[in-house]
Every structure is written in C-alpha cells, then in structure tokens.
Chains A and B, each alone.
Chain A
C-alpha cells in the first residue's frame, strides 16, 4: 500500500499514538485555568477514555460518534458557558501535544481540520 493511500490514523501511528497523546493532552487541559472546569477531575479514568475517543476521532480513526452524540454529551457544558474561546484552547492543546510527540506538521494540520469540523456540534450551534 502506498503511503498516501493509508488513512491519517495509520500514518499518525494508530492506537499507540492515541495512547501516547491522551495523557499529555489531559495534563495540559487540567493545568489550563481557562478550561479545566469543564473537565471532570473526580473520575479521571473515564476522562482518559473519553479523550481517547476524541483523539481517535481527530486522527480520522474508527469511532462511533455521530454529530448528535457530540451535541448531547456537550449540552451540559454549553449550559455552563462553553463557547468558541474554550474550543480554541482545546485546539491549542491538541496541536501542542502532537508537536511534542514529533508528529509532522502536515499530519497535525489534517488532524486539526477533522477536530475543527465538530466545532458546531460541540458548541450546539
């Protein structure tokens, strides 16, 4: 199989890359006063699993989330005031995490574009 026909998920490193990314990302989020109130600290195991799903989605990997799911699970946070500035902060940490893992810039761009595509659903627009 030629490299270009592989999925982004495979090119970025598959599940191993997801596993490497989630904890780095979650640490950044928990230390960011702008957004950490949206992330549950009481059940960290569950948060890690959710973030795995998020990264798998951003890498274009196998995931079962629909736009409707995205709306439903974030509705409570939208009520708490979740808006574009918070989504921007998450995008920032997504990018920084992948840079830290030495993911090539063009692949980071692809992942960011996928994550960006769910912005309206996450923010309930």
Chain B
C-alpha cells in the first residue's frame, strides 16, 4: 500500500489500485471520464514521487518533464504528493521595471519577480490587478538569470486589462503573478532536429522566448520563425530577429504581411501559408504555433500532414476574454 498526499491530507492507495480510483474511493473530487487513458481529463501533477512510465506514455515531453501523469493509469510504486488542477492558485508579487512600446499598439512589460526558477519561456502566467481582474500572458524571455518576466501586451479596444496596462500601469507599480502554466516551451533534447515557430501578432512573445531558450542551449538543428500580421506596423522586433539570424546560421526569420502593402524584405501572405511553402518535410521537427485560433488549428493539421508527430506540435491560441 502507498500513500497519496494532497496538501495537508493523506489518502491510502491499495495494491493494484490506480491513483484515480483511490482518490475517488476516499471522496476526493477529481474530474475524469474514460478511465482508460483516452480523454486525459484526470491528469494530475506529482510534486514528489515519480509517476509510473505507463501513466505518462501518451503525454507531451514538456508535460512529462513537469511530472504530469494520467491518474487513471497510475498504480503508484511509491508515495506521491499530488496537486489537483483546481487547487487555489498561488500568486506572488511582481514589480514593474519596464513598460515601453514595441510598436504602435503593443507594450513590452517587464516584471521583476523573486522566485522564477520554475518558469520557462513560452509558458504563460495569469497577471492580476489589485481588484482581481485577471488575464493570461505568455512569457517572452528566459527568466532564470534576470529574475524578470517579460510580456508583450497588445491594446485591445475595450479590453479592460490591456487598456489599464497601457494607460495606467507605471514602472514601480506592483502586480500579482501566478505560477507558470502550459506546456508550450523548449526542452534541451534532440538538439540537432528542426524547430518550426509560427506566430501572428503577440504570438511572437512565446516564440521569441522559445527561440532564445533554444539558442542559449546550443540547439544546432534548423530553427525557422515565421511572424505574421495583416499590416507591417503590427510586427515588431524585426531588426532584432534579423540580427539573430545573421549571428546564427541555423536560424532563419521570415516576417510576413497578409495585407495589400508589402515592403521589400517581407513575404506577402499569412505566416502559416508562407511557412508551408518554405518547409518541405517536418518529420522529427518540433512545431510551436501561437496566435490567432484559426491559424493555430489549421496549421496544426497541416504540420501533422507534413510529417510532424502530434506529440511534437505545441499550440497556444489567443483567448479573448468576454468580460
């Protein structure tokens, strides 16, 4: 028999019993559906005690690395400390150290935070205003050394949070930062294989972070970045990306403009369409797609059909809050 710890509580797990069954038997409210590894709705995270290989077999590498596992498939071999998805979120205090415009409508917000060891470029956090208003933004830098988190925040017309960030938030102000979330980030493995990054608008934020992370780990396989928008004025960090591509022979950068006005040095068309004409075969590649939900879902299928494995396709689609 093994023990399962969740916060202050302990639960026993009989021999041959799955984590899910043990928790349900002891009235812990865990969401689940199929109980055979298909639906992934019972996914939990182990904070201590490695999950069994079987319970992680179908998960993405980034989820495995954070000890996520399917509780229905896990008959524990040792005691485990678990975290339920709905456990209340921990926020830490951050201080704004930079807010400057990246282009006509997007701000670069840099927030100083004390404990960022577990934060990876490309993941996202919830930022929270004093009154509780909360929005998710992707991390666009590698936080460990600078102890800062960088975000690209576009002003949305009528967007409560983004207008507040643009119009009122100042250097020195405090803002609450959640724990890191999401599985869209770089793992320093398979360094000689390709990475395709396709983003629209502020979808560049996680991609730029993943790019920095990959290059700093000495990733030697080809890395292609396609960043698109309908107008050139909504792209940003163009010179910086061009410079990086000159410094790193394995990195190529293609800014794409889908509107009518296309200057020299830019490709005409949507970023995903342009990307598909430039890459022939994605077998063995990791693919990161961030931005407009339609682009993300179309490109996901296309990347798969071009040979990328489903587990190697990471997506982060914009969510526009209705409230």
Contacts and interface: CB of A to CB of B under 8 A. Distances in A.
Interface of A: 23, 26-27, 30-31, 41-42, 44-46, 48-50, 53, 64
A41 B297 CA distance: 8
Given A23-B309, A23-B310, A49-B58, A41 B301 contact: yes
Q: How large is the interface on B (under 10, 10 to 19, 20 to 34, 35 or more residues)?
A: 10 to 19
A82 to B, nearest CB: 21
Contacts of B309: 23
Interface stretch (B34-42, B74-82, B256-264): B34-42
Interface in B38-74: 38-40, 58
A45 B300 contact: no
Complex A-B, nearest 4 residue pairs according to Cβ-Cβ distance, in ascending order:
A49-B38, A48-B310, A41-B301, A44-B310
A30 B38 contact: no
B161 interface: no
Interface in B269-323: 297, 300-301, 304-305, 309-310
Contact of B40 (A26, A27, A45, A53): A45
Given A44-B300, A45-B40, A31 B310 contact: no
Contacts of A31: 305
Nearest to B313: A44
Interface centre among A41, A46, A49, A53 (most CB of B within 10 A): A49
Given A23-B310, A49-B58, A44 B304 contact: yes
A30 B310 contact: no
A42 B297 contact: yes
Contact of A45 (B36, B297, B301, B310): B310
A30 B301 contact: yes
Given A30-B304, A44-B301, 18 more contacts: A23-B304, A23-B309, A23-B310, A27-B305, A30-B301, A30-B305, A31-B305, A41-B301, A42-B297, A44-B300, A45-B40, A46-B38, A46-B39, A48-B310, A49-B37, A50-B38, A53-B38, A64-B36
A23 B307 CA distance: 9
A27 B38 contact: no
Nearest to A27: B305
B304 A27 contact: yes
Contacts of B305: 27, 30-31
Interface in B13-45: 36-40
A64 B36 CA distance: 9
